[in-house]
């Protein structure tokens, strides 16, 4: 069965109640996981960006202050952990720095290295030592960078993705999934989609992926960098249901089977 990840990421906009609502929707859709993003802004935000002013729903503020505004603290993640356990859905996060690795290790035993950081070998190796399951995304990377990351980090799951939000459909290059499966047969291969619509995500369901990830939002028109490339609740329900239907429809390779549902039609048309 394909593991389906509903990435909340930063689409909670710093609101714990909104995060819980998104978790609830992912559970109702029967996703396997919800995912967040964890980072220390002081470490992750480039110095030249920190003091730039940005218009936000909370007024004009420095970029570094905005990043802190939408970053959940330990108490809030304790609420998330408790809520996920209560309703019965697994959760984890993308980790952007070593302190965030240590932070998330207190809650979960699975983590993801985002595309932006797969060339940070210190972080990749550090996360590999800490987590039982390590997922990496390959967006915005060269083939050489991906090869180096696999050698350094030995991830369990390699996710194909295009890091443009939203991704142009002609640049999705879904056949790279087949390439990854052939090159790394011992790894689980996944797909993290940032494109409009669902049809291309349905396509990867028959390409041998074991993981599918899509960003989710309450409303694609909300303020924030990731909402536009996200899936709204109704779309998430459709994504999960139709992915499961595709899985059920594939059947087994081999000689054709005569199914019980065909027997009555066979008898009426062939007489035997």
Tens-place pLDDT, residues 243-270: 999 999 999 889 999 999 999 899 999 9
Residue with more model confidence, 271 or 246: 246
In angstroms, the CA 78 to CA 106 distance is 10
Q: What angle do CA 158, 159, 160 make, to 5 degrees?
A: 120
Segment 180-214, tens digit of pLDDT: 999 999 999 999 999 999 999 999 999 999 999 99
- pLDDT band at residue 222, thresholds of 50, 70 and 90? confident
Mean pLDDT confidence for 96-116: 98
Instruction: Give φ, ψ of 193 to 5 degrees.
Output: -100, 140
Chain centroid to Cα 58, Å, comes to 28
Q: What residues have CB less than 8 Å from 148, skipping those under 6 apart?
A: 119, 121
Residue 231 in this model has a pLDDT that exceeds 80: yes
Instruction: Give φ, ψ of 233 to 5 degrees.
Output: -50, -45
Share of the chain above pLDDT 70, in %: 100
Q: Is the dihedral of CA 43, 47, 51, 54 positive or negative?
A: negative
- The tokens describing 130, both together, are 């800490």
β-pair type (211-215, 3-9): parallel
Mean pLDDT confidence for 2-25: 96
- 111 forms beta bridges with 93, 134
- The tokens describing 176, both together, are 């790279």
- pLDDT band at residue 215, thresholds of 50, 70 and 90? very high
- pLDDT band at residue 57, thresholds of 50, 70 and 90? confident
pTM for this prediction:
0.95
In angstroms, the CA 109 to CA 129 distance is 11
- 206 forms beta bridges with none
Correct CATH for 3-270 of 3.30.2270.10, 3.20.20.70, 3.40.50.1370, 3.60.15.10: 3.20.20.70
In angstroms, the CA 103 to CA 40 distance is 10
Nearest CA among 11, 6, 8 for reference residue 225: 11
Buried b (16+ CB within 10 A) or exposed e, 227-238: bebbbbbebbbe
- The tokens describing 110, both together, are 């699975």
Mean pLDDT confidence for 212-219: 96
End-to-end CA distance of the chain: 37
Q: What residues have CB less than 8 Å from 2, skipping those under 6 apart?
A: 205, 209, 210, 211, 212, 243, 247
């Amino acid at each position: 069965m394909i593991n389906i990840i509903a990435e909340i990421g930063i689409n909670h906009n710093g609101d714990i109640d909104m995060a819980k609502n998104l978790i609830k929707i992912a559970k109702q859709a029967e996703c396997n996981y919800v995912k967040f993003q964890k980072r220390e802004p002081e470490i992750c935000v480039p110095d030249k960006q920190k003091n730039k002013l940005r218009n936000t729903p909370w007024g004009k503020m420095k970029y570094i202050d905005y990043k802190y505004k939408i970053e959940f603290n330990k108490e809030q993640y304790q609420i998330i952990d408790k809520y996920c356990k209560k309703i019965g859905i697994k959760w984890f996060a993308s980790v952007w720095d070593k302190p965030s690795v240590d932070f998330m290790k207190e809650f979960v035993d699975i983590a993801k290295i985002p595309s932006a950081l797969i060339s940070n070998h210190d972080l990749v190796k550090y996360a590999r030592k800490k987590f039982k399951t390590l997922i990496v995304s390959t967006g915005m990377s060269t083939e050489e960078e991906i090869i180096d990351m696999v050698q350094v980090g030995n991830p369990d799951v390699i996710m194909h993705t295009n890091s443009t939000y939203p991704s142009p459909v002609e640049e999705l290059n879904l056949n790279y999934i087949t390439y990854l499966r052939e090159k790394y047969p011992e790894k689980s291969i996944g797909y993290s989609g940032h494109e409009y619509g669902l049809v291309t995500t349905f396509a990867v369901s028959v390409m041998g992926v074991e993981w599918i990830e899509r960003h989710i939002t309450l409303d694609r028109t909300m303020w924030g960098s990731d909402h536009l490339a996200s899936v709204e609740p109704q779309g998430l329900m459709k994504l999960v249901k139709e992915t499961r239907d595709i899985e059920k429809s594939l059947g087994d390779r081999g000689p054709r089977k005569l199914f019980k549902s065909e027997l009555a039609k066979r008898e009426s048309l062939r007489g035997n």
